[in-house]
Chain A
Amino acid sequence: MNLIFFLVNKFFKSIFKNKSSRLPALISLFSIFISIFSIMIVMFVMKGFEIKVQNKILENFPHIIFQSPKNENISKLNELKNILKIDKTVETYGAIIINNEFSIVKIKGKTEVEEINNKKNDSKLPVVILDRNLFFQNRTNTTIEIFIPAPNTLKKIRKIDVFVGGSSNNSCNVPCIFIDYKTSLNILNKSESFYEVLLKNPFNSDITIKEILSIKPELQGKIIDWKSLNSNLFNIMKLERFSLGIFLFFLILISSTTLYSNTVSMIFQKKSDIATLISLGATNKQVVLVFLITNLLIALCGYLLGVILVVLTTYLLINTNLIEILNINLTFYGIEGFPIIFSLEYFFYISFFSLLIIIFATYLPTKNYLGKNIRNLINRNN
């Protein structure tokens, strides 16, 4: 049997058998376990939150928007592979009164509304569709009043009765109603239209923009995708995640100090064993490796326990209603499922840097005390 693995096995077992060395070893083990668990869970929640926000944006907002004259021929753009649908839209701000309550809304002209108008409207009133949130707040009302406080084409405020045709799948960042693009209730200026583009793969929006610009170079400066529109939000989230990650890494640093002191105390406890090994002809390198591996094993046990708990917690949070134990009602926050995701990228980054710190914290004292200075350590006078 190999000397190093034989002694590592013996020393590792004796650490947990011996009362005086068991407690410091357990403190090291658990501090690493807690650090790994905390940093991974927090980063996975942050990543899950970003994904949820991203999905919300992709669900509710167009992936690309561009502005073009009313009669522009855009049929060629439909031939682009990544484009799913192009919608014309016009928009302004107005106000609505429901149950005598007044609120400001965004009014958007959409082509989809025309279809609903033909199918459902028996009242001969112009049809509108409310955004999802607005619809669920006022689902009992079928007619509402709309005020247009400052329309582009009219000098005075108009009041229009409308028929609520249903709810849109989209929700807006401010309450909004969708109206028929063709008629636009005669309140919207349609000389210039916005085009909302939905993509098959929204993550390739920048490539699609390039393709659109190669077909219609005059759109330069008038086209924007969801990434650029929300770049500030994503940058802030990235910054938040990065700074949290940095601060949480201090936990690993702190736990590595316990590992450092544990290694030092083990070296001093085993001083006579070290002297014996050297006197029997063991090399400094062999002794260094024995202590390095033994203490690394303690740290690795902590790391593995942390990883197992992280995987288990992530699985439970994704697949069960565990979070409700904490009395957190997710529907209140308007999200489906707890925002957590097992990110392999983060898992590897955190593992790599944690293990690097752990190895460093164990290597430093072993090299320092058992390297060139080993004779000073084991000298009988010391």
Chain B
Amino acid sequence: MIEIKNLVKNYDNTSIKYSDYKIEKGDFVSIIGPSGSGKSTLIDLIVNFITYSSGNIYIFDKEISQYRRKEKNILMKRLGIMSSNSLLLSDLTVIENIKLPQLIHKNQIEESHMSYLINKLNIENLLLKYPMSLSTGQRQRVLLARAMILKPDILIADEPTSNLDSENTNNLIKCLVNLNHELKTTIIVATHDKVVSNASKRIFQLR
């Protein structure tokens, strides 16, 4: 599903070299490592937010740079992203934020799936609120709902439990595990939180 080979990202004064990884369908992978080891960079590279210096990233058996513009749009539909680059739009209500991927990809949302997510993530009472009035934990749950609304094949999350208390962390992890089990969604999480990495099936350690 996702394969990383000889991947290198150069910055002005430093460069990050990644080991080779292969992630299969239905996997739940945690990418862990100290600060500056390149966890978030790897996430950004996989979602093509930044470009790599050398090596290859294959997503769905195709090298990421080989995707044409329209194909990239379809690819983004198959990826659910929860990263620091993907926040809630402050001018939209929670429900409008959740439905945003539908507008972008002109897709019909399955009402039953949306109800399932809203129910599982316990955000029924937040739907008409604006993001400014939500707590960090509530925002993370709404972000997860938005990332999952189009039933993506892969969910990529960057530090999903940062700034969450232990109760909210546990709730979010439960949701991730459920989604992995019930919807067979492949989950890739960059985290420094051991509770998250313990819940995952495999761990990739960055140095």
Q: A residues engaging B (CB < 8 A)? A: 1-3, 6, 10-11, 13-14, 272-273, 275-283, 286, 375, 378-380
Contacts and interface: CB of A to CB of B under 8 A. Distances in A.
Contact of A280 (B50, B91, B101): B101
Nearest to A282: B104
A279 B91 contact: no
Contacts of A11: 91
Interface stretch (B16-24, B30-38, B69-77, B179-187): B69-77
A283 B49 contact: no
B81 A6 contact: no
The 10 closest A-B pairs by CB, nearest first: A281-B76, A279-B86, A14-B91, A3-B103, A275-B85, A10-B91, A279-B85, A276-B86, A282-B104, A273-B89
A278 B86 CA distance: 8
A375 B72 CA distance: 15
Contact of B100 (A14, A272, A275, A280): A280
B92 interface: yes
Nearest to B70: A283
Interface of B: 40, 44, 47, 49-50, 69, 72-73, 76-77, 81, 83-92, 96, 100-101, 103-105, 146
Contacts of B85: 275-276, 278-279, 378, 380
Nearest to B89: A273
Contacts, number: 65
Given A11-B91, A13-B91, A279 B49 contact: yes
Nearest to A15: B91
A379 B104 contact: no
Contacts of B40: 380
A3 B86 contact: no
Contacts of A13: 91
A248 to B, nearest CB: 37
Contacts of B76: 279-281
Nearest to A275: B85
A375 B103 contact: no
A280 B69 contact: no
A280 B86 contact: yes
Contact of A10 (B49, B69, B81, B92): B92
A3 B106 CA distance: 8
A379 B69 contact: no
Given A281-B73, A378-B85, 4 more contacts: A276-B86, A375-B50, A380-B44, A380-B85
Contacts of B146: 280
A283 B73 contact: yes
Contacts of B44: 380
Contacts of B84: 380
Nearest to A281: B76
Nearest to B84: A380
B49 A375 contact: yes
A280 B102 CA distance: 10
Most chain-B CB neighbours within 10 Å: which of A6, A272, A276, A375? A276
Contacts of A279: 47, 49, 76, 81, 83, 85-86
Nearest to B86: A279
6 contacts: A272-B87, A279-B47, A279-B76, A279-B81, A281-B105, A283-B69
A277 B91 CA distance: 13
Contacts of B50: 375, 379
A6 B104 contact: no
Given A279-B47, A279-B49, A1 B73 contact: no
